[in-house]
Amino acid sequence: MRVVLAALVLAAVLVLPVLTAPAQAQSGARKVFQISMVSFKFTPSLITVNRGDTVVLQFTNEDPDSRNHSIASRLFMQIEPKASGEFRTGVAEDRRFFAAEPGKKFELEFVATQAGSFPFVCGVFDHGARGQSGAINVLAAAAAQP
């Protein structure tokens, strides 16, 4: 009988802290990036977030030469970002694009669910070939601290 009682007390000591511990949030941070699109470059061109983060990309076409610009990426074929603002969208060369005329703004929002590096380019004419490119780097989430 004492052995059974001791086993029950031991089980309670081991299990009770787990059952009463506060739940830790599983969602990541909200990361907002303001991205300028001008002739043949994105500023910034490298975006780094953690897996689980909510990513908000705010694009402004600030081209002084009145050129159209877009962001085109295969990532947007895998996920469906929430898009708002003044833009056109479509698919070309296996990449979903979001395009803005000069002076226009748009926003893309999504949760970074997969770690990796996801390249993007401007899909307008030869802009990507002339250097208007970048990447969204999603780092694996850091291990939880005990």
Kindly report the pTM of this predicted structure: 0.79
For the chain, which residues make up each domain, given as ranges?
A: 30-139
pLDDT (tens digit per residue) in 6-31: 444 444 444 444 333 333 345 699 99
Q: Are strands 54-61 and 69-73 parallel, antiparallel or unpaired?
A: unpaired
The CATH label, of 2.60.40.420, 2.102.10.10, 2.60.120.260, 3.40.50.1820, for the domain at 30-139 is 2.60.40.420
Strand order of the β-sheet with 30-38 is: 41-43, 30-38, 54-61, 105-111, 82-85
> Looking at residue 112, what is its pLDDT?
98
pLDDT (tens digit per residue) in 70-85: 999 999 999 999 999 9
pLDDT at 94 over 90: yes
